[in-house]
Amino acid sequence: MYSFSIKVSGDFGAIIERVTEALKEQGFGVITEIDVKAVLKKKIDVDRRPYMILGACNPKLANDAINADADIGLLLPCNVLVREEEDGSNTVAFMDPVAVLGLVEQDAVKELATRVRGMLEKVRDSLA
């Protein structure tokens, strides 16, 4: 499995704000926001439910990862997905850094991935 998630009730925009604040409390900033619904509507005229990808980054940990493996930027940032489901509920899903960074066969990166996963699990748990 490459992710873990939680169902969150409320307004989609408010959920984005809650997730962003919870990430901030764990030392992450949102450095990218991809509004997939808007992009697909603009590019190929497809209507989708709200679907937002947030690129979360903890600068200190990202620097440590880059120092461990210069190519690790291909696996960064940690993506957090907020999507509206067919029934109107919302899911917040987190990329599992242990699964993704496990592709890098270095103990320092594996230890770092475990730390990051713990931080993202705290974000998830704070949304309950």
pLDDT in tens, 4-23: 999 999 999 999 999 999 99
**Contact at 8 Å (CB) between 90 and 15?**
yes
State the CATH number of the domain containing residue 106: 3.30.310.70
Domain count within the chain: 1
**Backbone angles phi and psi of 15, in degrees to 5:** -65, -40
pLDDT in tens, 61-109: 999 999 999 999 999 999 999 999 999 999 999 999 999 999 998 999 9
Q: Which residue has the higher pLDDT, 7 or 1?
A: 7
pTM of the model: 0.95
Amino acid at 30: V
DSSP string covering 63-123: HHHHHH-GGGGGG-SEEEEEEE-TTS-EEEEEE-HHHHHTTS--HHHHHHHHHHHHHHHHH
What is the residue range of 78's domain? 3-126
